[in-house]
Every structure is written in C-alpha cells, then in structure tokens.
C-alpha cells in the first residue's frame, strides 16, 4: 500500500514538473505587446528587434485617438487603460509603451493598476545628452503633452545642461502619421529655422520623429540625434532574461490599428522592411 501511495505521489510530481515546463514555455511564446498613438512606435520596434529578433510581437496602433499630445491626463490614462486591457486579452507577456506622451502621463497609473504585468516605457533621451554631449547646445523636440509633463520636467531639472531649448511640436506627429511629405517639410522649415547653426544635439522626444530624421537634418545641418529607443530595447531584453521569458524560436509580428486602416498596416511593414504577409 505504501509503495502504491509513493508511486501515485511520484506520478503527480512528474506531472506537475511537465505542466510547469509547459507553462513556462507558453509564457515565452506569448507576444510582447507594443502600443503607440499610431505607427510612430515602429521606430521603437525596429530597435527592439535588433536585440530580440526571435520574439513574437503584437503592435497596436491607436490611430483612432491620434494625436495624444493634445489630450488631458485623464483622457490619456483612460485610453491607455483600454489598450492595456486589450493587450492582456491578447496574452502579452510584457507591455512596451512606445509613445512618450503616454509614458509620461500614464505609466505610473498603469503600473499601479496592473501589478501582474511589467511595463517598459519610452522616454526622451535627455539623460544621454548629460552623459555624452553635456556642453553642447541642445534642442528637445517633443509633443506639448511631453514637454508639459511632470515626469519630463523632473528629468530636465536633474540633467539640465543650461544650454537646452524646448520645442513643442504641436501637430507634427499627426502630419508624420498621415505621411504628408510636403506638409512635413513646410512645418520643419517654419519651426526649425531659428535653430539652424545654433544647436548640435537634437533629442527626438516623440517616437514619430525618427521617421523624419533626414528631413530635420536638412534644415538644421549636421547634428547629433538622441533617441530613447535603443536604451529601451536593451532594458527590455534584460527584463526578459531575468524573468526567463526569452523566446528562442522563430517569431512573428502582428499589427492592429484601432481604425482598421489597411494603409497603416502596409506602411508599418514597409518601414520595418518586412514582406507584407501578416
């Protein structure tokens, strides 16, 4: 009788070990959720894929509520809350906030409401100016929501080089989102002329702005760009390694737009330089 009981316990133990292994494997296979107010966050995904090429990704483009920069804190929190609930239904193992405005306004709220999931949030790479180019004139380009946010102002106060100019680029992310090349050129000519030849560093404080880095440089001349995406990518990889959640097999990318706009999907994968198969 004792031998039979021990055999039953042994079988249960083996069964639990197998289930735990399968559970961990399932967790590894689950996608990394990424969201932005549109397709600008593709610039973050590009950097992530350089260090995490084998992961599964689910990207949510919230073009319905674009732009975020002109919305109140409460509106942004509610929008982000709805998106996070959706990403959790998609069984994302970690969530990347690939929008500076959403990161600045909502990440604290989201972390408190959803302690069961880890959030990795983009932020303007102003600290990098302090670390690598402290003594140079610096232009921070960001949405009004980011520049007025408490989080960014604390960052600025801590690392201010006293040679920093802040530029609220109202409406720029929306023009980039729509892919209006002539309007982008006109906008930059109007708003950047005063800084031509005067700044050496440019902090791209919105994930849409790396998409027009070339156009910015055509106005300002040769400048050094600072973008928070590469640091975010490394931090994300560190977290997944610590949590034993790295995916080893071949990954895939899913894209969804809140307005179901097919042109967004096509442009998204074109930027990523992937074949349009998804």
How many Å apart are CA 201 and CA 133, to the nearest integer?
8
What are residue 254's DSSP bridge partners?
58
User: Model-level pTM?
Assistant: 0.86
What CATH number labels 30-123+230-272? Answer: 3.40.50.1860
With 0-12 CB in 10 A as exposed, 13-18 as middle and 19+ as buried, what is 163? middle
The catalytic residue among 80, 92, 99, 169 is: 99
Determine whether 99 is an active site residue.
yes
Tens digit of pLDDT at every position of the chain (278 positions):
555 555 454 444 444 433 344 444 558 999 999 999 999 999 999 999 999 999 999 999 999 998 888 889 999 999 999 999 999 999 999 999 999 999 999 999 999 999 999 999 999 999 999 999 889 999 999 999 899 999 999 999 999 999 999 999 999 999 999 899 999 999 999 999 999 999 999 999 999 999 999 999 999 999 999 999 999 999 999 999 999 999 988 999 999 999 998 999 999 999 988 534 44
The catalytic residue among 80, 92, 169, 206 is: 206
Residue 64 token pair:
């319905």
59 backbone dihedrals φ, ψ, rounded to 5° = -105, 130
Apex 272 CA angle, 101 and 200, nearest 5 = 55
Task: State residue 249's pLDDT score.
Answer: 87
Q: Which long-range contacts (CB under 8 A, 24 or more apart) does 271-277 make?
A: 271/39, 271/42, 271/43, 271/46, 271/211, 272/42, 272/45, 272/46, 272/49
Task: State residue 274's pLDDT score.
Answer: 55
* Fold agreement between 30-123+230-272 and 126-227: yes
Show me where the domains of the chain are located: 30-123+230-272, 126-227
Q: Is the CB of residue 200 less than 8 Å from the CB of residue 137?
A: yes
How many Å apart are CA 228 and CA 250, to the nearest integer?
27
Q: Is the CB of residue 102 less than 8 Å from the CB of residue 73?
A: no
Task: State residue 33's pLDDT score.
Answer: 98
What CATH topology corresponds to 126-227?
Rossmann fold (3.40.50)
């Amino acid at each position: 009788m004792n031998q039979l009981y021990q055999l039953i316990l042994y079988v249960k133990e083996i069964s639990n070990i197998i289930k735990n292994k399968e559970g961990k494997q399932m967790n590894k296979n689950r996608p990394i959720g990424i969201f932005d107010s549109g397709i600008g966050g593709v610039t973050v995904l590009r950097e992530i894929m350089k260090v995490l090429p084998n992961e599964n990704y689910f990207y949510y483009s919230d073009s319905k509520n674009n732009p975020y920069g002109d919305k109140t804190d409460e509106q942004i929190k509610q929008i982000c809350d709805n998106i996070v609930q959706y990403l959790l239904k998609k069984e994302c193992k970690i969530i990347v906030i690939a929008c500076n405005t959403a990161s600045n306004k909502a990440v604290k709220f989201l972390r408190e409401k959803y302690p069961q999931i880890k959030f990795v949030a983009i932020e303007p790479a102003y600290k990098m100016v302090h670390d690598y180019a402290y003594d140079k004139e610096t232009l921070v380009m960001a949405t009004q929501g980011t520049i007025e946010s408490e989080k960014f102002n604390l960052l600025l106060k801590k690392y201010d080089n006293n040679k920093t100019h802040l530029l609220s680029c109202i409406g720029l992310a929306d023009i980039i989102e729509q892919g209006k090349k002539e309007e982008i050129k006109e906008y930059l000519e109007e708003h950047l002329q005063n800084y031509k030849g005067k700044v050496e560093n440019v902090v791209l404080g919105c994930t849409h702005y790396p998409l027009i880095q070339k156009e910015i440089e055509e106005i300002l001349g040769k400048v050094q760009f600072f973008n928070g995406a590469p640091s975010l990518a490394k931090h994300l990889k560190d977290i997944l390694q610590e949590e034993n959640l790295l995916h080893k097999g071949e990954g895939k990318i899913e894209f969804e737009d809140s307005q179901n706009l097919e042109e967004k999907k096509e442009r998204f994968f074109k930027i990523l330089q992937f074949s349009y198969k998804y």
